[in-house]
Amino acid sequence: MGLNVFVLTGAGISAESGLGTFRDASGIWTQYDLSEVATPEGFARDPAKVRAFYNARRANLAGAAPNAAHLALARLQKGLVARGGRLFLCTQNVDDLHEQGGCSDVVHMHGQLGITRCHGCGATWPDSEPLSGETACARCGETGTARPHVVWFGETPLFLHGIEDALEDSDLFVAIGTSGAVYPAAGLVAWARRLGIRTCELNLEPSDNARVFDERRYGPATEVVPTWVDEVLGGQGAR
């Protein structure tokens, strides 16, 4: 039986790919009012403003590439599987840099920027074009309903049952590049501890729940994550 590792990532793992974080000094939420661009109420008030916010992020993502931390997690996934274990990668990020970096079966609990959703009937479709109020939903035919398939504040995160099941079947829980500010993601480490699972934080600086972790390592993800992956795979009898 191999090692089962649960990794939760946040915006910090994509920071060195040029994508903004939310709560750092120049974070996205210091530039935008989240109630206006990341809530259903904000979308109802001014859908064009919300679409413009996400179109700018889609354009930014188009020019981004996975970094050494994303690539290291792909190496970890392959290495764990080769040894009879598995990586359960749950991300709060709406970018696709984990997939671009070679990871598969990525769970996006806050949705995905590269998917458009009809706010009317819930239909979703892959979309790299700018969001538009003119787009007609292919399922219900409504226009004016196109939104990003991203979980807004006040909405329910995705895949929670699968996340809970995977955590219960894990030997190690690792949080990478997240401030621990948003629940239920931020509550996973306490749940892991209650389950008797070893916990580790890999971050630029201590997160809001740093004290809950058994182990903590600080530094840029592109340095800390590859080193940590080498240790995990080396400890597994490197092949």
Binding residue positions = 10-29, 54, 57, 92-95, 118, 121, 137, 140, 177-179, 221
Could you check whether the bond before residue 184 is cis, i.e. omega within 30 degrees of 0? yes
Q: What is the DSSP-derived secondary structure letter of residue 185?
A: G
For residue 112, state whether it binds ligand APR (rule: CB under 6 A).
Answer: no
- Residue 140 Cα distances to 120, 134, 146, 151, angstroms: 8, 14, 12, 21
Q: Which stretch binds ligand APR (CB under 6 A): 43-51, 134-142, 164-172, 177-185?
A: 177-185
- Does the footprint of ligand APR cover residue 11 (CB under 6 A)? yes
- Triad 72, 78, 81: Cα angle to 5°: 135
**4 beta partners:** 86
C-beta separation of 133 from 146 below 8 A? yes
At 161, the amino acid letter reads H
Of 2, 27, 40, 120, which one interacts with ligand APR (CB under 6 A)? 27
Strand order in the sheet with 86-91: 107-108, 86-91, 4-9, 172-176, 198-203, 215-218
> From CA 191, how far away is CA 43, in angstroms rounded?
33
Catalytic residue among 98, 110, 119, 149: 110
- List the one residue from 68, 125, 220, 236 that touches ligand APR (CB under 6 A): 220
Near ligand APR in 43-82, by CB under 6 A: none
Q: Taking CB under 6 A as the rule, does residue 85 contact ligand APR? A: no
In whole angstroms, the minimum distance from the beta carbon of 53 to ligand APR comes to 12
21 binds ligand APR (CB under 6 A): yes
Q: How far is the CB of 181 from ligand APR (least distance, A)?
A: 5
Q: Which of 3, 4, 6, 10 touches ligand APR (CB under 6 A)?
A: 10
Indicate whether 205 belongs to the interface with ligand APR (CB under 6 A): yes
Q: What is d(CA 169, CA 167) in angstroms, rounded to the nearest whole number?
A: 5
CB 217 to ligand APR: min, Å:
10
Strands 107-108 and 111-118: unpaired
Q: Among all residues, which ones are annotated catalytic?
A: 110
Residues near ligand APR (CB under 6 A) are 10-12, 15-16, 21-24, 27, 92, 110, 177-179, 181-182, 203-205, 207, 220-221
